[in-house]
Structure 1
């Protein structure tokens, strides 16, 4: 039998529904969503991007890159696509293939149109409106993939001229995408070649966010030479956090022709504040910025110093990335890295302990990692020692000064990771060969 609600009862239910909607992420049609300045996957689990950019449109044959960056720990890959205006068009079939590669490797795909780069200053660059035309033309490849794909409308959509219309043009582009049936989380790049030195995106982000009928937009800042001090980085990202607006670092490097970014602050502040980032770029750079390659000639066994920093360094991908729960089916929302090996026992005051982990192993070679943890008092430096018993030989290392002879190895801190607070940890890694067996050695740690 049906009953009518009283006016008061209906009002109470309406109020409760509003409260519930406020505290729970409001999801799109089974896709990513944004709530209170955070990004959530389709399970309602907070998702923090930790990944790299891949220049697919210029290197479409490098399909193994998706598996390679996943094997190194990434949870996201930002994929360069093109509309056909400046570079060969990424067809709907090609985009479907890219999405399939992301899904097969349990990666989240951020798909971006690169033809917009530097509009108003760069010859041949296209408008955001033209980029929307492209997205709508391949909507068939996107629809139904909201759990796995984020649509980045256009890369660095303005240079240093004509960017005053960024807010209006971005808002109109979002509304056109929504009207065209694109239900994905949308990512919007900053003007000024992505670096927003004019603060155009920063000061108009709320207006653009509110123009999205789905309130499902994320903002992306690119950090190169403009962001060469800790104060600039923390102030810019901090303003978005304070405003409750979602922000990611969609591109950044450790060096650039326009200046030297402070990548350590980008990484540490992002980790402390659960801000996503995507380093530029996996491989294939040219035009004088070849040093931004993370892997030499797309070879994951030949990581550059930049690649080692991104994947294996402090606050890097291995230490901080968490796979999207839509792949694992889990729903926890860790905000700090979960250890993959049991924590060491607490050492005496002023001391340290070390734990050894084989991160990855293949025929004849492996990647190892040693985690150093301070005791109940701060330390200013550390030295670890171990002896291989299986004939293993280290060929390269990072985040430590390592030396060895006859199987006995010593690793000391470098200048940026020697000082550890009580109970704090750091890690270093290495690539080594093995033959026959690869036993785990005992590691000792001495503090200074």
Structure 2
């Protein structure tokens, strides 16, 4: 269903009066905060989201996607999670790993529960109250991550029916999250499958913002077929700006089954007015909207036309994204030691710290065959400073104390002369994170 935007001067005036009456909070040193309709990171630096959505709950094995979207310039990733009501529950350990991957790649994590999608119209969709239960069950994982994580209560929490309680339900959800100890910035999605053609979010955003004791709530509209003209886009987003209420475009595409959104205006207006956005979606779309994939089969070297537009086009991610300032003080990766040429028929291995943050790091090991082809390899090292590996990929890795042994996976053991294979891992450290000396044995 699609309804055109109309003048609402009285509503805008009411929003302005209400928001001005709130005053603005001081920046919360513990994490993100909102003031004057803008989002600030823990350093008090304005942060404007430029990123993508990633369907993690349906593709949990695609952990390299975080590094891939970062390499293309994104500063944020909105991660699809499930409470377990409609899809397999993302466990506390899995969510903790997602946060680690975001931090390792210097991405801000927007975590959302997808099971609320289309409540009131979609069979099986859950209430916002049920989504809050899930967030509270993750309290131990979310605690201390306020600098890096924004909690999006529920994706598109109402369809085109039975959405009259949107404001009350969101206000109650926010109060419960705060009472449960979550001090993160909270993101609230619009009803009407996220597109708010009924203006329910637009006209009630001020009251929901006021219901948050921390005044730390951001609103998210999803722009698809409803927003197919420049006038509709600028009017909708402009009303939030005029009212001093924080707004982001949490999802949008270049085309959709309900119409053709004006993505050029979404990008241009957002850039001109400091509004964040997150394109839908990295890869793995189905159900007739496969054209919304930004990358083909999760391959960053195979961007679709939509991917090229969003990452590399005018007002796209490469032109406009700025990394959150909280990552700017992280020490640069340690320079790996020089390596000697591999012996004939043997191999060498190099170790590079690719990302590092307080208490954790990400590293890559590259194995290179010598003058003859090899059919398998084993790399090994001993950490000198009590570091440990917490997760690895593209390798069969075992640890015994500080000694690590890494053997090739089934698909990357055979290397031609001079060819290389690489694997990665996440680790923890305290005090010093020195680069170990590696050995490599070929077969």
Give the TM-score, by structure 2 length. Answer: 0.69
Q: Residue by residue, what CA displacement relative to the aligned partner does 1:51-79 show, whole Å, maximum 9, x if unpaired?
A: 00000000000000000000000000000
Correspondence list, 1:206-245, <5 A: 206-245=206-245
Q: Residue by residue, what CA displacement relative to the aligned partner does 1:392-421 show, whole Å, maximum 9, x if unpaired?
A: xxxxxxxxxxxxxxxxxxxxxxxxxxxxxx
Name the CA distance, whole Å, in 1 between partners of 2:97 and 2:162. Answer: 36
Name the CA distance, whole Å, in 2 between partners of 1:55 and 1:76. Answer: 14
Q: Residue by residue, what CA displacement relative to the aligned partner does 1:311-343 show, whole Å, maximum 9, x if unpaired?
A: 00000000000000000039xxxxxxxxxxxxx
8 Å contact from structure 1 (residues 28, 184) kept in 2: no
Name the CA distance, whole Å, in 2 between partners of 1:22 and 1:129. Answer: 28
The match for 1:185 is: 185
Name the CA distance, whole Å, in 2 between partners of 1:84 and 1:28. Answer: 32
8 Å contact from structure 1 (residues 221, 249) kept in 2: yes
Runs of 5+ consecutive residues of structure 1 not aligned to the other structure: 1-20, 331-448
Question: What SS does the aligned partner of 2:101 have?
Answer: helix
The match for 2:303 is: 303
Question: What SS does the aligned partner of 1:232 have?
Answer: helix
8 Å contact from structure 1 (residues 28, 183) kept in 2: no
Name the CA distance, whole Å, in 1 between partners of 2:91 and 2:28. Answer: 25
Question: What SS does the aligned partner of 2:165 have?
Answer: helix
Q: CA deviation at 1:218?
A: 0.1
Q: CA deviation at 1:22?
A: 6.6
The match for 1:80 is: 80
8 Å contact from structure 1 (residues 160, 193) kept in 2: yes
Name the CA distance, whole Å, in 2 between partners of 1:39 and 1:329. Answer: 20
Q: Residue by residue, what CA displacement relative to the aligned partner does 1:147-173 show, whole Å, maximum 9, x if unpaired?
A: 000000000000001100000000000
8 Å contact from structure 1 (residues 28, 214) kept in 2: no
Q: Residue by residue, what CA displacement relative to the aligned partner does 1:268-306 show, whole Å, maximum 9, x if unpaired?
A: 000000000000000000000000000000000000000
Correspondence list, 1:82-231, <5 A: 82-231=82-231
8 Å contact from structure 1 (residues 29, 146) kept in 2: no
Question: What SS does the aligned partner of 1:250 have?
Answer: strand
The match for 1:407 is: none
Query: How many residues matched?
Result: 309
Q: Is 1:322 paired with 2:326?
A: no
Question: What SS does the aligned partner of 1:130 have?
Answer: helix
The match for 1:45 is: 45
Question: What SS does the aligned partner of 2:116 have?
Answer: coil
Q: Residue by residue, what CA displacement relative to the aligned partner does 1:364-417 show, whole Å, maximum 9, x if unpaired?
A: xxxxxxxxxxxxxxxxxxxxxxxxxxxxxxxxxxxxxxxxxxxxxxxxxxxxxx
Name the CA distance, whole Å, in 2 between partners of 1:315 and 1:29. Answer: 31
Give RMSD over aligned pairs: 1.2
Name the CA distance, whole Å, in 2 between partners of 1:179 and 1:107. Answer: 28
Name the CA distance, whole Å, in 1 between partners of 2:252 and 2:281. Answer: 9
Runs of 5+ consecutive residues of structure 2 not aligned to the other structure: 1-21, 331-443
The match for 1:369 is: none
The match for 1:30 is: 30
8 Å contact from structure 1 (residues 29, 183) kept in 2: no
Name the CA distance, whole Å, in 2 between partners of 1:255 and 1:235. Answer: 20
Name the CA distance, whole Å, in 1 between partners of 2:182 and 2:145. Answer: 10
Q: Is 1:252 paired with 2:249?
A: no
Q: CA deviation at 1:27?
A: 2.9
Q: CA deviation at 1:28?
A: 3.2
The match for 1:261 is: 261
Name the CA distance, whole Å, in 2 between partners of 1:183 and 1:123. Answer: 32
Name the CA distance, whole Å, in 2 between partners of 1:38 and 1:28. Answer: 13
8 Å contact from structure 2 (residues 51, 77) kept in 1: yes
Question: What SS does the aligned partner of 1:191 have?
Answer: coil
Question: What SS does the aligned partner of 1:163 have?
Answer: coil
Q: CA deviation at 1:176?
A: 0.2
Q: Which runs of 4+ in 1 moved over 3 A?
A: none
Question: What SS does the aligned partner of 1:164 have?
Answer: coil
8 Å contact from structure 1 (residues 296, 303) kept in 2: yes
Name the CA distance, whole Å, in 2 between partners of 1:306 and 1:106. Answer: 24
8 Å contact from structure 1 (residues 253, 279) kept in 2: yes
Name the CA distance, whole Å, in 2 between partners of 1:68 and 1:39. Answer: 25
8 Å contact from structure 2 (residues 27, 35) kept in 1: no
Q: CA deviation at 1:26?
A: 1.7
